Amino acid sequence: MQIAQYQDGRLELQDVPRPSPPPGGLLVRLTHSVISVGTERMKVEQARMNLLQKARARPDQVRKVLDSARTLGWRSALEKVKNRLEMPSPLGYSAAGVVQAVDSNNTRFRAGDRVAIGGAECAFHAQYVAVPDMLAARVPEGVEDWQAAYTTIASIALQAVRQLDARLGERVLVIGQGLVGLLTTAILRASGVRVMAVDVAAARAPFAQAMGAELVVILGKHDLAQHVRAWTDGHGADAVVLATATTSNAPTEQAIDALRDRGRIVVVGKTKVDLDWNRAYEKEIDVRYSRSYGPGRYDPSYEWGSADYPIGYVRWTEQRNFDACLQLMRTGALDVGALTTRRVPFTHAIDAYQGLLGADSASEVGVVLEYGLEAAPGGGPIEVQERAATTRSPARALPPPPARLEQQVSRLDVIGAGNFARTMLLPHLKGKVPFGTVVNNTALSAQHVRTKFGFTTAATDTAGVFDECGAAAVLVATRHHLHAGLVLAGLAAHRHVFVEKPLCLTPEELEEIDTALGRSRGTVQVGFNRRFAPAGTKLKQLLKDAPGPKTASFRVMAGALDPAHWYANLAESGGRVLGEACHFLDFFCFLFDARPVRVFAQSAVPAGGRHAFPDGIAAQVEFDDGSCGQLVYSAEGDASWPKEVCTVFAAGLCAEIENFQRLTVHRGRRRATERFEGKGHGEQMAAWAAFLNGERAQPVPFEEVRRSMRLTFAVLESIRTGRVATP
């Protein structure tokens, strides 16, 4: 479905065939597009004019008709005019959406990517559009789709600012506070430039102030010359941006009068510019035009042939302007929400255009069309073709974790006191947190642990553990299939829970824990201890100084699984990917401090025999900052090989961790090796104990734990389906 405009003024929503990606380009399903109120209202108004009015408004088109008449004759020329008037034309040029398909020659984008797109030749108000590579830019995390839809229009303003070459502290007039003028005001303000906004409509004043204008002058109400004189200490403005659309020369004359000696004018709107020779000469005015989104615009070899300009010669192309605008939105320096006056369902787009032609149209600035799951051509639902195996619902928002506990816990209960808990966890907690009840299946073991570590009581089941009142914590170190149920019970009792990895065995259990955590006063920590290993924290500190994406390869030689080990019982352990490989997937998330966006994994050895689940895997994980993590977790190999080796490549840095005991760093053509002890168990317990005592914030926010668990489930999903999966 697409908006069609006829030259008799009609606007229609029409079912049209779905386009195909152009060579090297993309097919995009729109989520939002922005009506450029000034430009598109002008097109609609011109379409509704009679032939005489059209001729007066577009003398350039009249000349073309006359030229055709001379070469083809009047009959053929009039037939061409008639055919042109009967032909519908598209509207729209600034939008955002999700990539559905890419041409085989495209290497920058993939199905599922969020993109901002532009171009009056392709970025129409339509459910599906086909655009070339150079007229698309990836939307960064933190920018919503409706905001990204402004990118192309914002790039027009940004290019005007670049042409203006305004310097920090200069005083600039922006005459015309339509959508482009307001965006120009905001970008100038973000650049450290002082801005006076000028318009004829009082309704635009609040928008100009919201976008950062220091002073707003309404022509006909205020004396522009006097305001400029006072604002510039009598010198005149350093520069003027003409963002008007008029056949009157008044804005140009006002601009010249407002400028200081050797001031600058940049013309961005379609406005009349007749320079009075005497006034322009006396001030030696510099006049520049700003062409659309930036260098590359209207160059077919750039836009449709993907022939990018070398950055050393053309720093800011139109696509790089797209990226710059998106980053301004991401940081909050460009707040398009302040000028968005309406968000309208696409099915009501015609009504929105009718509103733009009303008497109060000056109060309309940013009108966003929203594309839901409307019917596709033929009546069926729109297909969403993602490359990932499935599309997951976004994780629900959780309340922020407490910075510190207001009251330290009165006791710590422990459920599961096997050899791991006795060796790796409890020794680091003893003496730091009061011990309450220890629960273990075997009575003798429970009693032994009570005596050795000083617990108040020992028990063989959890009945009554969560009934006791008071601020308390619980440590869960049982077999994996019990983790989710005990975490849920702990949260229901408002406990602070530490659970050994994995947190749970299914995505459904993770959603249950999400919900429970949102209702509980308790918290959850998971035993991802390698985050706390001294070698790992040192490596992460080094990587912070290395710009750009990183690549890490984690090779784990885990050895063959004993068929008699409880890990071989899938119902209890969830398998080695969930039970062990999750550690290394979490370490990637920790090391990059980024969000995993897609993963492809395969079983390193086909499942079979006594192990009907993956015993070894190879997985490649892509992160939203461009980083890449490669995990090889193998049951094969030789015992002489180190069990865990993590190699990282970053800008100006190569590093390798071996068994978290040795960190080797290659930097500046030098090699340095540092030795460490431990895989972070003691450090993690110390951090959690400090949290329980109200001495520090929660060591690992649950959002990070959830991210790692979703990544682990996505790895299993990719192995099962043989396709890319989305965490």
523 vs 614, which has greater pLDDT?
A: 523
599 vs 387: CA distance, rounded Å: 11
End-to-end alpha carbon distance in the chain? 32
* Domains along the chain with CATH numbers: 2-149+335-370 (3.90.180.10), 153-290 (3.40.50.720), 411-524 (3.40.50.720), 530-683+698-721 (3.30.360.10)
Q: What is the pLDDT of residue 382?
A: 32
Nearest to 412 by CA among 688, 684, 705, 696: 688
Q: Tokens 């030689």 belong to which residue?
A: 557
153 to 78, 117, 327, 331, 724: CA distances (angstroms)? 36, 10, 15, 18, 34
Listed ranges 5-9, 94-98, 277-281, 305-309; the one with the highest mean pLDDT:
94-98
Q: What is the pLDDT of residues 416-455, one digit of tens each?
A: 988 889 989 999 999 999 999 999 988 888 888 999 999 9
In the structure, how many helices (H) and strands (E) does the chain have? 25, 30
494 vs 211: CA distance, rounded Å: 45
Question: How much is the mean pLDDT over the chain?
Answer: 87
Q: Tokens 């929400």 belong to which residue?
A: 337
Q: What is the pLDDT of residues 62-109, one digit of tens each?
A: 666 666 666 666 666 666 666 666 667 888 999 999 999 999 888 889
Q: What is the pLDDT of residue 358?
A: 60
432 vs 435: CA distance, rounded Å: 9
3-state SS assignment for residue 136:
strand
576 vs 599: CA distance, rounded Å: 18
Per the omega criterion (within 30 degrees of 0), is the bond before 394 cis?
A: no
369 vs 388, which has greater pLDDT?
A: 369
460 vs 417: CA distance, rounded Å: 11
662 vs 20: CA distance, rounded Å: 53
286 vs 76, which has greater pLDDT?
A: 286
212 vs 207: CA distance, rounded Å: 9
290 vs 307: CA distance, rounded Å: 22
Listed ranges 353-367, 553-567, 628-642; the one with the highest mean pLDDT:
628-642
Three-class SS string for 558-609? CCCCCCCCHHHCHHHHCCHHHHHHHHHHHHHHHHHCCCEEEEEEEECCCCEC
Residue 196 and residue 217 in contact, taking contact as beta carbons nearer than 8 Å: yes
Reported as a pLDDT band with limits 50, 70 and 90, residue 41 is low
Structure tokens at 440: 């273990």
Q: Residue 388 pLDDT more than 50?
A: no
pLDDT mean over 603-617 = 63
Nearest to 596 by CA among 721, 711, 722: 711
Q: Residue 397 pLDDT more than 60?
A: no
Nearest to 15 by CA among 379, 385, 384: 379
Q: What is the phi/psi pair of residue 277, to 5°? A: -55, -45
List beta partners, residue 30.
97
Q: What is the phi/psi pair of residue 565, to 5°? A: -70, 145
Q: What is the pLDDT of residues 229-247, one digit of tens each?
A: 999 999 999 999 999 988 8
pLDDT mean over 568-580 = 87
Q: What is the pLDDT of residues 484-498, one digit of tens each?
A: 999 999 999 999 999
Q: What is the pLDDT of residue 363?
A: 77
Among 47-56, 313-322, 371-380, the least confident range: 371-380
Q: Whole-model pTM?
A: 0.67
Q: What is the pLDDT of residue 72?
A: 62
Nearest to 114 by CA among 586, 598, 548: 598
